Copies of this chain bind each other. A is one copy, B any other.
Amino acid sequence: MKKPTISDIAKIAGVSKTTVSLVLNNRNINVSEKTRSKIIEISNELNYIPNGIARSLSTSRTETIGIILPDIVNPFFSEIARAIEDTAGKLNYNVILCNSDSNNIKEEKYTKLLISKLVAGTIFISGGGSRNSIDFFKKNNIPVVFVDRYADPLKDFSSVFCSNEEGIFEAIKYLYDKGKRNIGFVNGSMKLETSKLRLKAFDKISKQLDIYSKSLIYNSIYSVEGGLIGTENLLNSNPKIDAILYSSDVMAFGGIKTIKRKNLKIPEDISVIGYDDISFCEYIEPELTTIRQPIYEMGEQACKLLIDIIDGKTINKKIEFKPKLILRGTA
């Protein structure tokens, strides 16, 4: 069986292909109501779907966008991807998913693939150092919107972020007000601009509050294992530690495991604060206190911004959200 075409409908209806095409596209054409209904009926009967690729080629534009993200299994990214796909779907775009594992070679492979598929634009959650991929998009005139993770140089690109400084400040101030003076920080990979900004903010606020100690900082990776290892290290080198801030919720889950295995109580012995507010924060008991990034809104706004750029409605725009401390059971 072949995909049904306009020719098939024309043949069965006994009219020309042009007539079928005009009727199905709701264009002005002088045909009887009977012929019109007959054409529509046959097209339904055959489950006819117009060829969107043919149109794409003539307009040099597809209603397709790409998302390059590190790993869809990480709930932070799956929540952003969901928001992007929802928003794209409402605007009649569809979304090609690319998992880069924050690897520049994979990013570049996907970049070329997306360009060859004539995507109208791309949302890019960079693994850091994505210079080549960024060049490819630029030289091929494909609009890109960066989300969450910065890429250098960003000035030519649109982006959607949530203030890292404010998030770190809010968490540390809360813990300080609760009487905590030995606050550890398990941060993500220093390859990423986001981690650098958060570390800078942590240094700044700790020094302001006069509780700074270099030994309270551990640069790990954004995963459960990263949280496990970071916590193990901080607990061993700082017996007086009374709170730990994690640079992601997923890391905080790893941290909680380590703390519980040492028979320390959360939040009595050690308070824990995560970062992101993925939906899993509410799946555990006690639920995770965290710095909320408005993940869904970030994905939604990134997609709207990208499609506005594609439609020529705007050119280069930065959108910054504010984070918010969400109090639950761990701090």
A contact residues vs B (CB 8 Å cutoff): 1-4, 46-47, 49-54, 56-57, 60, 62, 64, 71-73, 75, 78-79, 81-82, 85-86, 89, 94-99, 109-110, 112-118, 135-136, 138-142, 224, 250, 253-254, 256-257, 260-261, 279-280, 282-285
Contact indicator B51/A96 (Cβ below 8 Å): no
Contact indicator B49/A53 (Cβ below 8 Å): no
**Contact A116:B72 (CB < 8 A) given known A254-B283, A280-B283:** no
Contact indicator B94/A96 (Cβ below 8 Å): yes
- Counted per complex, copies of this chain come to 2
Q: Find the B residue at minimum CB distance from A112.
A: B49
Main secondary structure of the interface of A (DSSP, over half): helix
Q: Of B49, B56, B110, B253, which one neighbours A140 at CB under 8 angstroms?
A: B49
10 contacts between A and B (CB under 8 A): A1-B139, A52-B117, A53-B53, A64-B96, A85-B99, A89-B99, A94-B98, A224-B283, A256-B285, A257-B283
Which B residues lie within 8 Å of A283 (CB)? 224, 250, 253-254, 257, 280, 284
Which B residues lie within 8 Å of A280 (CB)? 280, 283
Q: Find the B residue at minimum CB distance from A84.
A: B97
10 additional contacts (CB under 8 A) given A47-B136, A52-B118, A73-B78: A3-B140, A4-B140, A49-B116, A51-B116, A53-B62, A82-B99, A94-B96, A94-B113, A97-B97, A257-B285
Which B residues lie within 8 Å of A260 (CB)? 285
Q: Find the B residue at minimum CB distance from A282.
A: B224
Q: Find the B residue at minimum CB distance from A260.
A: B285
Give the Cβ gap from A277 to chain B, nearest Cβ, in Å. 13
Contact indicator A50/B116 (Cβ below 8 Å): yes
Cα A93 to Cα B308 with chains together (Å): 28
Q: Of B46, B82, B109, B284, which one neighbours A72 at CB under 8 angstroms?
A: B82
Contact indicator B53/A72 (Cβ below 8 Å): no
